[in-house]
Chains A and B, each alone.
Chain A
Amino acid sequence: MKTPELVASSWPHIHSGNSVQNMMLTLIIALLPAVVAAFLVFGLDTLKVVIIAMASAIFWDAVLQKLFKKSLTVYDLSAAAYGLVFAMLLPVTIPWWIIVLGTLVMMLLGKHVYGGLGCNPFNGVLIAYVALLLSYPGHMGNWPMPTSDMMMTQYPPLVELKENGPFLLEDAFPVKDLFLGTNLITGSIGEISKLALLLGGLFLIVRKKISWIIPASFLFGLTGFATIFWLIDPNTYASPIFHLLAGGSLLAAFFLATDWPTSPVTKYGMVFFGLMCGVMTMVIRSWSQWAEGAYFAVFIVSMITPYFDKIRPKVFGARFTSKRPVRL
């Protein structure tokens, strides 16, 4: 029998070269500035948490791929990337076994039970974060003190706001320090330097890995809501600048709300999704028992993603109404 010489497949026969690996690598690179910023503040512990999170995520990913009889695809870097994002939400004091447990939950419930990357309706990072927050609130809220002597406050800005109200926030957390992550402001690894997050986020946008719409509308929704309530009652509600720069606003806007599988893909869907995340963040920060609402907000709103995606543009030609010839 003659062996066939040519290959045939359906078109297109060329490809942009874009790949999951490429997207995940970009995500990891985008987060590196934030890791460096945290490293400068908390020291080697930062690297410990980051490395344990990434390594254990890869480990669980591989184990679960074996268990679910899938081909091994850890080299697509998705586990590493999600492990890194997960590390961003943790305080550096977190014991190693909680990280390992968290990445297991993340990989199992946030990926493999749904059939792998992209099929999950919820972001595994957020699943793991909330599960741990409910199980080990003490460890998850064990905020490290950057250095012992010049300590200004023991709490991260939002916890301070929750505990003591908006008074003196401006003295304790000057805008410049909030933005740069300087001067002993504590928080989880990814909440330290807003400058680093902004750089990373813009990098993702410029490389066209995420759309600018979600972060923009997220931050717009958040600051808009914060402004309204701050104008109404500045004694109860903190300033919009504070809310924009404190806690995980930017982390959530650039790195969690834009998570590919769980965020909408249509333009208007993205706008509404982002706005709703922003508003929900403020609702949770203002009135629930939690100090930080951005992560919860993304988690909750991603439930509605399928509906946001129903706000799709009218298909080409759908507006066509009359068969009358157009005058040219």
Chain B
Amino acid sequence: MQEYLLMIVAAMFINNIVLIRFMGNCPVVGVTSSVDSALGMGAAVVFVTTMAGTTCWIIQKTILEVLGIEYLQTLVFILVIATLVQFVEILMQKVAPPLYRALGIFLPLITTNCMVFGVSVLNIKEEHSFMETLVFSMASAVGFAIVLLFMAGLRERMDSAGRVPKLLQGVPITLITAGMMGLSFAGLMGLD
């Protein structure tokens, strides 16, 4: 139990997927400063990352390793992830049409984000068990969602009451802010 707890803290904060491992920056930079869409998108990312992580793990263990074609991992994973999102979209529409209707916009936003793929590869690289894969993927994605959410909050504030110099507006200031968030997470180093 404790090792899972540590893994969660580490994946969410100490080795935060965005701020420390540098993955999934595009959505963090690109998504608007709307807090609501950050929430929705965060939830969707948690879902997709976990699904992709576990599916890739299963495919790695049951197909690639059995057949000895681990080197095709990159090719196979990316195909799997691209398809998975479509599959999930169909599934969602079948499971809960009214809900899907209310928020279908978030799902496809995230297929090509390097974090989903990166987490899937990390799971294999760090030789996680299935349970670890699940926990790690989910915690990483939650870490992502937290950054997204905090960033949306900070950007909303900058937009309303800030005066970022014109030449730093948009991407530059978002990146610098991400750096500051990463800096503050240094405070959690050694939390174990």
> Is the CB–CB distance between A127 and B185 below 8 Å?
no
CB < 8 Å neighbour of B157 from A127, A297, A299, A306: A306
Task: Determine the interface band of chain A, counting residues with CB < 8 A from chain B.
Answer: 35 or more
Task: Determine the interface band of chain B, counting residues with CB < 8 A from chain A.
Answer: 20 to 34
Set of chain B residues within 8 Å of A121, measured between Cβ atoms: 154, 157-158, 177, 180
Beta-carbon nearest neighbor of B150 in chain A: A303
Q: Mark A95-118, 1 if CB is under 8 A from B, else 0.
A: 000000000000001001111101
Is A315 at the interface (CB under 8 A from chain B)?
no
Beta-carbon nearest neighbor of A287 in chain B: B191
> Is the CB–CB distance between B180 and A290 below 8 Å?
no
**A234-286, CB < 8 A from B:** 283-284
> Is the CB–CB distance between B162 and A114 below 8 Å?
yes
Number of A-B contacts (CB under 8 A): 91
Is B26 at the interface (CB under 8 A from chain A)?
no
**A103-153, CB < 8 A from B:** 109, 112-116, 118-119, 121-122, 126-127, 130-131, 133-134
Q: Mark B157-183, 1 if CB is under 8 A from A, else 0.
A: 110011111001000010011011101
Is A288 at the interface (CB under 8 A from chain B)?
yes
Set of chain A residues within 8 Å of B154, measured between Cβ atoms: 121, 303, 306
Is A304 at the interface (CB under 8 A from chain B)?
yes
> Is the CB–CB distance between B184 and A134 below 8 Å?
no
| Alpha-carbon distance A68/B163, docked complex (angstroms) | 12
> Is the CB–CB distance between B187 and A284 below 8 Å?
yes
- Chain A contact residues: helix, strand, loop or mixed: helix
> Is the CB–CB distance between B163 and A300 below 8 Å?
no
> Is the CB–CB distance between B163 and A299 below 8 Å?
no
| Alpha-carbon distance A159/B157, docked complex (angstroms) | 37
For residue A234, give the distance in angstroms from its CB to the closest CB of chain B. Answer: 22
For residue A281, give the distance in angstroms from its CB to the closest CB of chain B. Answer: 10
> Is the CB–CB distance between B191 and A288 below 8 Å?
yes
> Is the CB–CB distance between A127 and B180 below 8 Å?
yes
Q: Can you list 14 A-B contacts with CB-CB less than 8 angstroms, sorted by A residue number?
A: A109-B176, A113-B176, A115-B162, A115-B164, A127-B180, A130-B186, A130-B187, A287-B191, A295-B187, A300-B185, A302-B184, A303-B153, A305-B157, A306-B157
Q: What 8 A-B pairs have minimum CB-CB distances, sorted nearest first?
A: A296-B187, A289-B190, A115-B163, A306-B153, A119-B162, A299-B184, A288-B190, A121-B154
